[in-house]
Amino acid sequence: MYEYLPLIFGFLSLCAIEIILGIDNVLFISIAASKLPKEKRRKVRIIGLGLALVFRIAFLFSITWLTTLTRDVITFSSFLGLDLMLSWRDIILIAGGSFLIVKASKEIFSMDEEKHAPTVKGVSSIAIILQIAVLDVVFSIDSVLTAIGLVENVWIMVAAIVVAIIVMLISAEGVSQFIEKYPSLKTLGLCFLVLIGVFLTADGFGLHIHKGYIYWAMAFSSIVIILNIRQKERELARAEKSHAEVESRE
């Protein structure tokens, strides 16, 4: 019994970390799918998270190949006074981070147009799925490299990743509905995607910033916005109640 405790602890720890790392994935998928008609969104979310699961498991069973991604392949001498060495992992993080910055920034600037046209014509499910697939690859590499550093048993990694994806799949519907109901949260989510893109790009250039800073900032900002939304709802309810009382007196 006791000999299994390290495996159980490793599994539970990895599940928790994979779920936390999956927040970025769920946020991007929820916002990307919101541009589609309602009847297509759930299907796209399932496909997006399904691709995330496939990529993660495929990378896990390609650990030998994946470790080669951390070897330097490009060297820039005297880059800003430093020797900059990039691996394929770094290049993927820089490309993925840059894509996320551009994509999220474009979404922020198009928010005003979406108020008048919530579902943008000409946006196909295939285009959204391809965008999700690109980010799935980036997030999957980050996720799998974290898993490799925590536990050695590949089947424990697979089990933890499957559990994390199931949790993400269950929570994606709620996240999407919440973002759709409160547009200010969508704006906040897009701003955090820009920030995540900056962190990924910085990580690619060798500037390692702990992701905990993002998650704490995300949690604090979300709490502030939710409290503000609740306050406005209470004020609106009081105003409607006062208006109803005035009308009843008349």
Query: Binning pLDDT at 50, 70 and 90, where does residue 67 land?
Result: low
Mean pLDDT of 99-115: 75
Q: What is the mean pLDDT of the chain?
A: 78
Using pLDDT thresholds of 50, 70 and 90, give the confidence band for residue 79. Answer: low
122 or 224, higher pLDDT: 224
Given a cut of 80, whether residue 17 has pLDDT beyond it is: no
**Cα atoms in the Cβ-side hemisphere of radius 13 Å centred on 144:** 28
% of the chain exceeding 70 in pLDDT: 82
- Residues in a beta bridge with 76: 84
* pLDDT at 223 exceeding the cut of 70: yes
* Mean pLDDT value across residues 218-242: 81
pTM, two decimal places? 0.68
Q: What is the pLDDT of residue 7?
A: 74
The 10 Å Cβ neighbour count of residue 127 is 13
Q: Helices in 1-37 by DSSP H: which ranges? A: 5-33
Indicate the domain borders of the chain.
2-209, 211-250
